[in-house]
Structure 1
């Protein structure tokens, strides 16, 4: 696994696009600060900005890196979530503009997947997370489900040894968390 981890890390640091498995779906990722790579993902997915992407983090403390003001309740909600959870925060920072929504909000998920955690820690920052599908197509739960145009359009396909061919077939719960603690569900 170390060779795969190093190759994925090198690719991210070089501004490349990854196709990689997460704890939910197969995803396309890049360095969260690389605007050129973020633009390439929008093009590859046939998605027009400002359709935002999610930032995967490996540790809850990384929220400070990407959210201007973290609501107090966020720490407990995110840390103790049992299922994958994406939280949309009011104001993002330190990411390429193409990751943010038109209102400046940012979506962040604390990843549970061991490989993803190691990758994020090794890179030293969050990684873009967006399903590896062309806009309006089904989300891929296995590499075999990923459209050929996506596989050909990325720079590196992460294949972790001894990893199941299919992800857990879960989609994250998504909600918006306001500074006052108000929660609005986007997907349950």
Structure 2
């Protein structure tokens, strides 16, 4: 592992542990991230995005085991979707647990994605907690496809900007699928 990769991970963990915000390349688009278990940090994300906290955010986990620690019940179909999807896929689960209350939607659901890129997987594994992942834009503005499209408000509002290029060059938001415990499946975003 390159020294700069390790340095970036350690810098992010330092900021995350202090309740700060990071701007980082994800398996989709550049994201604003924080400790998903820290209510104050999650509030900062809503503030920087100028977004109501009734609009839920996505949370990233490193692997299936971490997913299972933060959801009461993972439907069998979720594992198939994670394994078979050709692009990053976020799944909305019922009854999340062990995360900040202001991260959970009013219907007691949470959108979680198992990270598929090396940087996010290493970061989350080393941090040992899920992190928030929301596109690096002000609410209502277009999602930036490249680092150069990120607004100065976002850049100034975070505590740390990761100095690495995204692993994937075709930056597109993830697919979002809602899997209810009663077996209902709903595609929110393809």
One fold, TM greater than 0.5? yes
1:97 corresponding residue in structure 2: 101
Task: Report if the CA contact (8 A) 2:26-2:166 is conserved.
Answer: no
- Is 1:178 aligned with 2:156? no
- Is 1:115 aligned with 2:115? no
C-alpha distance in 2 between matches for 1:22 and 1:72: 25
C-alpha distance in 2 between matches for 1:78 and 1:105: 18
1:21 corresponding residue in structure 2: 25
Pick closer, same or farther for the CA change 1:166–1:173 going to 2, 3 Å: closer
**Aligned pair partner of 1:86 in 79, 83, 90:** 90
1:77 corresponding residue in structure 2: 81
Which consecutive unaligned segments of at least 5 residues does structure 1 have? Answer: none
C-alpha distance in 1 between matches for 2:18 and 2:166: 28
Which structure 1 residue ranges, 4+ long, deviate > 3 Å from structure 2? Answer: 164-167
C-alpha distance in 2 between matches for 1:65 and 1:19: 25
Shift, 1:127, TM fit = 0.7
Deviations 1:123-151 (A, max 9, x none): 00111000010011111122211110010
Shift, 1:164, TM fit = 5.3
Within 5 A, what are the aligned runs for 1:113-152?
113-152=117-156
**Number of positions where the alignment pairs a residue of Structure 1 with one of Structure 2:** 186
Task: Report if the CA contact (8 A) 1:143-1:166 is conserved.
Answer: no
- What TM-score comes out, normalization by structure 2 length? 0.93
- Is 1:9 aligned with 2:27? no
